[in-house]
Every structure is written in structure tokens, then in C-alpha cells.
Amino acid sequence: MPDKGYTLATGDSGAYRLQILNAIHQPYSEFLLKRAGLSPGMQVADIGCGTGNVSFLIASKVGINGSVCGVDISEAQLDIARSQAKNLNLDNVTFTEGSAYDTGLPKESFDLVYCRFMLIHLNRPIEALIEMKSLLKPGGLLVCEEADFSKAFCQPSAKVYDICYEMLIGLASSRGQNFCLGIELYDIFNHAGFVNPEISFIQPVVTRENKRLIDMSLMEARNALIEAQLTDSHEVDKIISQMTELALDNTTLFGIPRVTQIWSRRVMSKE
Ligand SMILES: C[S@@+](CC[C@H](N)C(=O)[O-])C[C@H]1O[C@@H](n2cnc3c(N)ncnc32)[C@H](O)[C@@H]1O
């Protein structure tokens, strides 16, 4: 069955949201990649790279003797990534269109394959992990970060915040996707043939303007939510405006989705 596809905006319409997302997550991703073993000279693939934010971080770490290849299914995302790479004068990063199930990248060629916040948008995440595994050299590292929307919270608690996440989770499940996949990632790694993965959980708490991430996401999902008959235009617009208000309220703290960080080596003898 073909995938239902990505529900949020791509290209210019989604780039600012991904920038906020990256501003929040980059320190955690950087720490994870270092802990997993990212080092100068590595050949790396970033699957579902979006506008390239993590690809650029990785490119700066692998240096001139290393390289990064970002893959995304959306040309609109890749156009932004390519122009950003040019602005940043990065010669060791390239971007190519492809599906996570069939990237078109050469097999057994990468020291590290990475993906962040992409598997939750897929109908068959295990198949994507098997493709990623095939890209790794023997002993190469797979590093993933994936969200669990069910763990998001607002402090002080706010009904509209919970409703917003329930809607997004419902939207994913109506499309055969899973916005709570983070908790299943250990299991999924095992099913994809990774032995004894390393794992940790992180949960960023967000203040000030970064809290707009949530109403922006809801706005991008608005039409898909209506199409899925999970809401109507009147209700969803009211929720979006209440979420904006909640984000602009200096006294609220947003605990955004908990993230599973997981990494493992490709061990050929166990396959
Ligand atoms: C939430 S964005 C994350 C982007 C990036 N990894 C980051 O953390 O900034 C998810 C990305 O996955 C891409 N995507 C969705 N389904 C895909 C698929 N089947 N194959 C490759 N990319 C896909 C989308 O186009 C989007 O750019």
C-alpha cells in the first residue's frame, strides 16, 4: 500500500517551523551524534533531511574529509536545503530526492545513517530502517530520533493543549502513521535486525517564541484534519487561535513531545 504522505507543509511554507524545531533540538541532536560516535572523515546519510538543518550540523563535524548526503521525498524541501548549503559555503554536503524505502543511495557505503522526525510520518517504518541498514558499511552506525506526542504537556495544564495533541495523534493514526512511535523504537530496531541498541529519552521544555512551534504545526495540518473529518474549519480555527494565545502567554511552559534517541551498529554476522 502506498504511503499516505507527509501532512505538514514543505518548502518555504514549512521552513520557518523546521528552523524553530531545529533551534530547540539541535543541542540534543549534537550531543547524541557525538555520543554515538560521529567523527571527522565519516561518510554520512541523513534520511528525511527536510531543509537540511541536521545535515549542516553533521557536515561541520565530519569536515573536509567526510561527506553528508541528505535525502528527502520533497523537492521543495531540498531546494531550500541546497540554497542554504550554498549560503553556508558547505562543499561536503549534497542533497538528493528519494524515498526512505528506496533511497537510491549506494549500499554498504556509509559510516553513519541518521534520521530525525521522519519515521512518524511513514506507514512502514521497519521497511525504512531495513533500507537504512542496507546503506551502512559493516559496523556502521544507525542513529535515529523519534517523537512521542502522547507525552507532551503544558504547565499550568491547559485543555486546548491536550486537544491539539490528541488531534495530531488522531490525524496520524487515520493515515496509518504513528505520532507516538518514539516508545516503539527499541522494538522496531530489534525487528529491523539491530542488536542491543543504545537508547535514551529526552524531553525539551520550551518557553518564549519557540512555543509557536505548536500552533504553526496545527495550522499546517489544518486542511488534513478537516479532510479526515476530525474537526471542522470553525473548531480548528478556534483551537489554533487559542493555542497561539497560550504560546504568547509568558506564564506557560510547553513540554513538547518526548524524543527517543536510539543508535546501533550494523553487525553483519547476526544478519
Ligand atoms: C518533520 S520533517 C524533519 C526534517 C529533518 N529531519 C529535521 O529534523 O529537521 C520530516 C521530513 O521527512 C520527509 N519525508 C516524509 N516522508 C518521507 C519518505 N517516505 N521518504 C523520505 N522523506 C520523507 C518530509 O518531506 C520532511 O521533510
CATH code at position 172: 3.40.50.150
Residue with CA closest to ligand 1 atom 14: 48
Pocket of ligand 1 (CB under 6 A): 3, 6, 10, 18, 21-22, 48-50, 53-54, 72-74, 77, 99-100, 116-118, 121-122
Give the confidence band of 1 by pLDDT, cuts at 50, 70, 90: low
Residue 4 lies in a domain: no
Residue with CA closest to ligand 1 atom 15: 6
* 157 alpha carbon – ligand 1 mean position (Å): 30
Vertex 131 angle, CA 22 and 269, to 5°:
115
The whole-number pLDDT of residue 192 equals 96
Residue 157 lies in a domain: yes
Give the chain's mean pLDDT: 96
pTM of structure: 0.96
The whole-number pLDDT of residue 34 equals 98
Which of these, 92, 96, 101, lies nearest to 81 by C-alpha position?
A: 96
How many C-beta atoms surround the C-beta of residue 193 within 10 A? 15
CA atoms of 51 and 199, how far apart (whole Å): 26
CA atoms of 214 and 166, how far apart (whole Å): 13
Q: Which of 1, 3, 4, 6 to mutate to test the pocket of ligand 1 (most atoms within 8 A of CB)?
A: 6
Residue 72 lies in a domain: yes
Residue 1 lies in a domain: no
**Beta pairing partners, 94:** 69
Residue 164 lies in a domain: yes
Residue 165 lies in a domain: yes
* 143 alpha carbon – ligand 1 mean position (Å): 15
Give the confidence band of 269 by pLDDT, cuts at 50, 70, 90: low
Residue 6 lies in a domain: no
Residue 7 lies in a domain: no
* 36 alpha carbon – ligand 1 mean position (Å): 22
pLDDT digit string, tens, across residues 166-205: 999 999 999 999 999 999 999 999 999 999 999 999 999 9
Domain count for the chain: 1
SS3 268: helix
Q: Which domain holds residue 46?
A: 12-270
* 49 alpha carbon – ligand 1 mean position (Å): 6
Residue with CA closest to ligand 1 atom 25: 74
Which of these, 143, 141, 184, lies nearest to 48 by C-alpha position?
A: 143
The whole-number pLDDT of residue 206 equals 96
